[in-house]
Structure 1
């Protein structure tokens, strides 16, 4: 059983629970038990750090003063994920370019390896 923590009473609860069994706080979106309900901490608004508010694609009626939202996506976390994805792509592109520019060297190394393998098998 996966557990989560209730944002109000901080008790461990089943991650599939719709409401907290201890304090009754709603944990999932009303009528949609598979969708998590994100809550703001204290007096802050979720919109202040949300990707959808930042790029002006949010159509949530409580915007920009939403304290709860099902579509919330943290802008800083999203940027970090994009940065990591870009770095991973950059490595693969760099490696492919290196191979493309050093095909002759790789061919010679391959031939040397084959010659070495043949020499070892004959001895």
Structure 2
């Protein structure tokens, strides 16, 4: 059983709990354990850091003053994810991954080259 901390009372609770058994705070949207409910902390609003607010595609009625939302997507996390994808697509990384996947082939080619060098040096 995975446990998480309640955002209001900070008690440990089951990660699939719909409501906190201690303070009755709603933890999952629409009473469904598969829909997370994101909450702002302190005086900040979720919209300030949400990707959908920044690119103006949000149609949430509480925008731009939403303290809780089911569609929240942190723009900083998205930037980091895009940066990881860009780095993963670089040529050096592609070559490195190819070499890792084909180590046996590289070993075989290396042995053939050594054998060729031995044959050429003895002739």
TM range (shorter): 0.7 to 0.9
Count of aligned pairs between the two proteins: 107
TM-score under structure 2 length normalisation: 0.77
- RMSD, matched Cα: 2.5
User: Where do residues 78-97 of structure 1 align in structure 2 (5 Å cutoff)?
Assistant: 78-90=78-90, 91-93=92-94, 95=95
Match of 1:55 in 2: 55
Could you give the per-residue CA deviations for residues 75-121 of structure 1, whole angstroms, max 9, x where no partner exists? 1111011101110111445x29xx9xxxxxxxxx93x62153587xx
- Residue 74, structure 1, aligned to residue 66, structure 2: no
Match of 2:29 in 1: 29
Unpaired segments ≥5 residues, structure 2: 100-107, 119-123
Structure with the higher fraction of residues in strand conformation: 1
TM-score under structure 1 length normalisation: 0.77
